[in-house]
Chain A
Amino acid sequence: MKYAALVLAATLIGGYADAAQLEITLNQPALDVQPYHRPYIAVWVEDSQRNAVATIALWKQLEEGDKWLKDLRQYWRKVGRNAGSEIDAVTGATRRPGDHLLHWDGKDSQGKPLPAGEYLLNVEASREEGGRDYHRVAFELGKQGQINLPAKIELGPIQISVK
C-alpha cells in the first residue's frame, strides 16, 4: 500500500515534469535597503519576432497596484497594456526574497501548444524606490538545453532548463 502510494506520487510528479517545457529558478535577492518594497516581477515568452505569446508569471501589488504596472516597461508594452483576462491565472502578489520555481507548459495564452522553434524568454523586475532589471534570452522550444543568467541587482541568478 505504501509502495503503491509512492508509485502514484512518482507518476504524478513525472507527468507534471513532462508537461513542463521550461523550468525556471528565479532568485529574488534580499536587499539591505530600508524601506524594502517587494519588486514587481514579470516572466513571459515572446516569439522570435518579439510578439508576446504567453505570460508565465506576473507578481504585483494586488490592491490598486495596476498604476505601477507601466514601470515593468517591456512587459507593459508587450503584454500589459493589451492584456485581457488571460493573464489573471498567472497574476499573483509580490513575493518575499528567495528562490522561486516556475514552470511553463509550452502553451500560449489561449492554452494551445506552441510549435517547436526559437522563442524569447523575458524576465523583468521593477521595485519602488529601487531599480529595474530586464533579461531577454533566446531558447529553442522542443530542444533540451540549459541557460544560466547572471545576477543583476533586482534579479539574482536565474536558471532555465528547457525540457
Chain B
Amino acid sequence: MRIKPIALWIKAAGLAGLMLSSQAALAHARWLVPSHTNLSGQEAHAIALDLSISNDIFHADKSYGNSTDKGPGGRSKPQLIATAPDGSRSDAIAYVDLLRKSAAGVTLSQSGTYRIGLEQPATLFTFFKDAKGERGRVFGGKDSQEIPSGATALSTTRMQARVETFVSRNQTTDIKPTGQGLELGGGTHPNDLFTGETIRWQLLQDGKPVAEGTEVTLMRAGTRYRNERGDIQLKADAQGFIQVSLEHAGMYLLEAGVNRESDTQGIDTERASLFLTFEVVPA
C-alpha cells in the first residue's frame, strides 16, 4: 500500500478527530452538547445530545455516523455511555446519523450528577519516516503490516480520548474520577458555573494530577459569529489545577492533551486528550 502524506491519509480515512501532536489536537475538536445541564422536578427528564467533529464550536461539521455503523477497518463506533450518580453505567446509547452530526437522547432518573461521554478503546498508532524521509503513520503497533519496508524512526503512541459532559438532575453530586485517561478531578462543580466567579479544576491523567504547565484551552460557543475565536489559554499549576473566571455566559469546550512516556513494552508514548463541554450561566 502506498503511504500517503499524513494530512491526506487522515482525510482518506475519515478520521479527522484523531491527533498527532498538540497542534493537531487543537485542529479538530470533537464534542457533544447537551440540551440541558441542570434539571429540576420530581419526574425523570430527558435531554438531547448533539455529537460532532467540528472546529466551529458548537456548529456541526462531521457526523459520528450511526452508533451501529462500523468505522475504518471494521472498528466499532465510539459508545455513548451515561454514568449515573450511583456509579452505574448505562448500556450503549443509540445515536443516529444526521450527516453533519449525530444525535441521541438520554433520560435521567436519578438525583445527582451524570457523566455522559463517548467511549472508545485506546488506539495504537505507529509513526515513522519512510525511505524517502516522508512522515507517515498507521494503525497498530510496530508489527503492523502497513509499515513500509525501510521505514525508520518508528514510534508507537497509545491514544485515549474522552469526549464528555456532565448533567445534574436536582442535586449535584461529586464527580468521581475514573482513573483513566485525561479527566476532571476535584474543584468547582461543572454544573454550578456562573459568570464572574472563580472556576478551579484539577485535571488528572490516569488518576494523577497533570504536570505543572499542562496547557488547557477553553472555547466559548459561537465562534462563527466572532472575528476572533477568543480562546482562553490556561496552564495547570503544580497541583494540576487550572483557574479562570469567565466573563461571558454560554456553552464552552475545554480541550487538553497530554503525553507521557509509556511503561508498556512496545509502546513509546501514552497520549490522553479531553474534550469537555460545560455551561456557564449569567450570575
Residues of A near any B CB (own CB < 8 A): 64, 66-70, 73-74, 76-77, 80-82, 132, 134
Can you identify 28 A-B contacts, CB atoms within 8 angstroms? A64-B41, A64-B43, A66-B40, A66-B41, A66-B42, A67-B39, A67-B40, A67-B41, A67-B43, A67-B45, A69-B40, A69-B41, A70-B38, A70-B40, A73-B194, A73-B281, A74-B194, A76-B40, A77-B194, A80-B40, A81-B40, A81-B168, A81-B170, A81-B171, A81-B172, A82-B171, A132-B282, A134-B283
Classify the secondary structure of A's interface with B.
helix
Residues of B within 8 A of A82 (CB): 171
Residues of A within 8 A of B146 (CB): none
Residues of A within 8 A of B282 (CB): 73, 132
Known pairs A69-B41, A70-B39, A132-B282 / 12 extra A-B pairs, C-beta < 8 Å: A66-B40, A66-B41, A67-B39, A67-B40, A67-B43, A68-B40, A69-B40, A73-B282, A74-B194, A76-B40, A77-B194, A82-B171
Chain A min CB distance to B137 (Å):
46
Residues of B near any A CB (own CB < 8 A): 38-43, 45, 168, 170-172, 192, 194, 281-283
Residues of A within 8 A of B39 (CB): 67, 70
Selected contact of A74 from candidates B170, B171, B172, B283, CB within 8 Å: B283
CA–CA, A64 and B43, complex, Å: 9
Residues of B within 8 A of A73 (CB): 194, 281-282
Residues of A within 8 A of B170 (CB): 81
Q: Whose C-beta in chain A lies nearest to the C-beta of B281?
A: A73
Q: How many A-B residue pairs have CB under 8 A?
A: 34
Chain A min CB distance to B245 (Å):
16
Chain B min CB distance to A131 (Å):
10
Q: Whose C-beta in chain B lies nearest to the C-beta of A71?
A: B40
Residues of A within 8 A of B283 (CB): 74, 134
Q: Whose C-beta in chain B lies nearest to the C-beta of A66?
A: B41
B42 and A77 form a contact (CB under 8 A): no
CA–CA, A134 and B163, complex, Å: 34
Closest 3 CB pairs of A and B: A67-B41, A66-B41, A70-B40
Selected contact of A76 from candidates B38, B43, B45, CB within 8 Å: B38
Chain A min CB distance to B237 (Å):
24
Residues of A within 8 A of B45 (CB): 67
Residues of B within 8 A of A77 (CB): 192, 194
CA–CA, A77 and B281, complex, Å: 12
Q: Whose C-beta in chain A lies nearest to the C-beta of B45?
A: A67
CA–CA, A67 and B41, complex, Å: 4
CA–CA, A116 and B133, complex, Å: 77
CA–CA, A67 and B42, complex, Å: 8
Residues of A within 8 A of B281 (CB): 73
Chain A min CB distance to B42 (Å):
6
CA–CA, A73 and B281, complex, Å: 8
Residues of B within 8 A of A81 (CB): 40, 168, 170-172
Chain A min CB distance to B94 (Å):
25
Q: Whose C-beta in chain B lies nearest to the C-beta of A70?
A: B40
Q: Whose C-beta in chain A lies nearest to the C-beta of B37?
A: A70
Chain A min CB distance to B50 (Å):
20
Chain B min CB distance to A158 (Å):
18
Q: Whose C-beta in chain B lies nearest to the C-beta of A78?
A: B192
CA–CA, A132 and B194, complex, Å: 14
Chain B min CB distance to A78 (Å):
10
Which of A70, A76, A82, A132 lies at the interface centre, i.e. has the most chain B CB atoms within 10 A of its CB? A70
CA–CA, A87 and B45, complex, Å: 23
Chain B min CB distance to A159 (Å):
24
Q: Whose C-beta in chain B lies nearest to the C-beta of A50?
A: B197
Residues of B within 8 A of A69 (CB): 40-41
CA–CA, A81 and B189, complex, Å: 14
Residues of B within 8 A of A70 (CB): 38-40
Chain A min CB distance to B278 (Å):
15
Q: Whose C-beta in chain A lies nearest to the C-beta of B168?
A: A81
Chain B min CB distance to A12 (Å):
39
